[in-house]
């Protein structure tokens, strides 16, 4: 049997609306029940008038609340690169295709992917609005979205009404990047082997770039960094043209995370980066397309267990 204050109302959009009273709504219903009891037992016309007014407010509340969620459309605007375990800032878009009536005080929440949330104040008829939202995914791989929940306490805050709507989609989540061996200057130490075609610190000064994890502190140009928001390192003509082969070791998920960190580190440096995964080898190349190709390969690898004796 359904709970006393729980109800489901079938809407013309073929979705179910669920209703639950707020704290204020519970008190309102208690007062309403008390007035009903008093009106029946006393027969006082004034009590009946007050009771009728309160019932009218409840009816108006339900009609407006039902209309408020009708026909709304939700879309996602996700970032281009998403890494496991790291906040992924994006946006949720709420569209109101109705010709009449705005959508007021609507909250949107992901039900099965990333747990992102956003709140919208008012979306006018025929308009759309977007609000920032943050997704977080614990694991790498393909994430499938299916449903979102839209909810509102409009108009009087007596009830919260919500509906789950289908918003399908897919997203590829890259592994969580971790610092690897090559970032420490190691060569052939397991996860990554660095085969640089040039030496650091030589060549003509051609510019500066943002500091990346693993860069030697001595390469930071302190005067320019003091004038900038982020630290800057010196870039010379003999740098940024090296080749790096990231070799994936046989360890568990930690090896994949460290390989991801190596790919990110060296692509930021401007190196040509390659990847070796078992018998499969990707030749070193530079550029955004190569970066996405390597990260995608790491993200789609079969799950790996933690080797015995390793935390």
CATH number at residue 111: 2.60.40.10
Res 190 pLDDT > 70: no
Helix (H) or strand (E) holding 268: helix 253-269
Res 201 pLDDT > 70: no
Q: How confident is the model at residue 294 (pLDDT cuts 50, 70, 90)?
A: very high
Res 295 pLDDT > 60: yes
Same-domain check for residues 82 and 165: yes
Q: How confident is the model at residue 186 (pLDDT cuts 50, 70, 90)?
A: very low
Q: How confident is the model at residue 238 (pLDDT cuts 50, 70, 90)?
A: very low
Same-domain check for residues 143 and 36: yes
Q: Of 109-113, 176-180, 202-206, 290-294, where does the model show the most confidence? A: 290-294
Give the model's pLDDT for residue 308: 43
Res 15 pLDDT > 80: no
Give the model's pLDDT for residue 207: 65
Give dist(CA 212, CA 197) in Å, integer. Answer: 20
CB 35 within 8 A of CB 50: yes
Summarised one tens digit per residue, pLDDT across range 37-56 is 888 888 888 888 999 999 99
Give the model's pLDDT for residue 3: 38
Count of domains forming the chain: 2
Give the model's pLDDT for residue 310: 45
Same-domain check for residues 157 and 249: no
Res 309 pLDDT > 90: no
Tokens encoding 248 = 């994936």
Give the model's pLDDT for residue 197: 40
Give the model's pLDDT for residue 199: 40
Same-domain check for residues 152 and 92: yes
Same-domain check for residues 169 and 97: yes
Is residue 117 in some structural domain? yes
Lowest mean pLDDT among 73-77, 98-102, 160-164, 211-215: 211-215
Same-domain check for residues 191 and 250: yes
Is residue 227 in some structural domain? no
CB 161 within 8 A of CB 66: yes
Q: DSSP labels for 32-53?
A: HHHHHHHHHHH--HHHHHHHHH
Of 43 and 254, the one with more pLDDT: 254
Domain with 279, as residue range(s), is 182-198+240-299
Give dist(CA 190, CA 180) in Å, integer. Answer: 9
The Cα angle at residue 224 between residues 221 and 228, in degrees rounded to 5? 125
Across the strands, what pairs with 19?
A: 7, 161
Is residue 229 in some structural domain? no
């Amino acid at each position: 049997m359904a709970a006393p204050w729980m109800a489901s109302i079938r809407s013309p959009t073929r979705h179910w609306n669920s209703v639950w009273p707020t704290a204020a709504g519970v008190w309102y219903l208690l007062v309403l029940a008390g007035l009903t009891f008093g009106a029946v037992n006393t027969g006082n016309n004034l009590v009946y008038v007050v009771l009728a007014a309160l019932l009218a407010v409840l009816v108006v509340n339900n009609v407006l609340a039902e209309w408020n969620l009708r026909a709304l459309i939700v879309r996602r605007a996700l970032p281009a690169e998403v890494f496991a375990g790291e906040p992924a800032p994006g946006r949720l878009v709420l569209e109101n295709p109705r010709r009449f009536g705005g959508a007021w005080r609507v909250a949107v929440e992901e039900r099965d992917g990333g747990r992102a949330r956003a709140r919208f104040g008012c979306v006018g008829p025929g308009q759309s609005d977007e609000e920032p939202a943050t997704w977080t995914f614990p694991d790498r791989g393909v994430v499938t979205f299916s449903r979102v929940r839209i909810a509102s306490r409009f108009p009087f805050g007596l009830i919260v009404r919500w509906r789950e709507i289908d918003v399908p989609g897919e997203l590829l989540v890259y592994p969580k990047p971790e610092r690897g061996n090559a970032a420490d200057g190691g060569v052939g130490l397991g996860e990554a082997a660095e085969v640089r075609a040039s030496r650091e610190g030589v060549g003509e000064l051609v510019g500066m770039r943002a500091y990346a994890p693993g860069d030697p502190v001595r390469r930071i140009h302190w005067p320019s960094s003091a004038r900038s928001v982020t630290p800057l390192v010196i870039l010379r003509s003999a740098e940024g043209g090296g080749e790096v082969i990231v070799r994936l070791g046989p360890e568990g998920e930690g090896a994949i995370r460290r390989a991801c960190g190596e790919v990110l580190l060296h692509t930021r440096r401007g190196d040509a980066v390659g990847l070796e995964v078992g018998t499969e080898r990707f030749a070193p190349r530079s550029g955004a397309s190569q970066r996405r190709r390597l990260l995608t390969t790491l993200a789609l690898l079969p799950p790996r267990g933690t080797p015995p004796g390793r935390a």
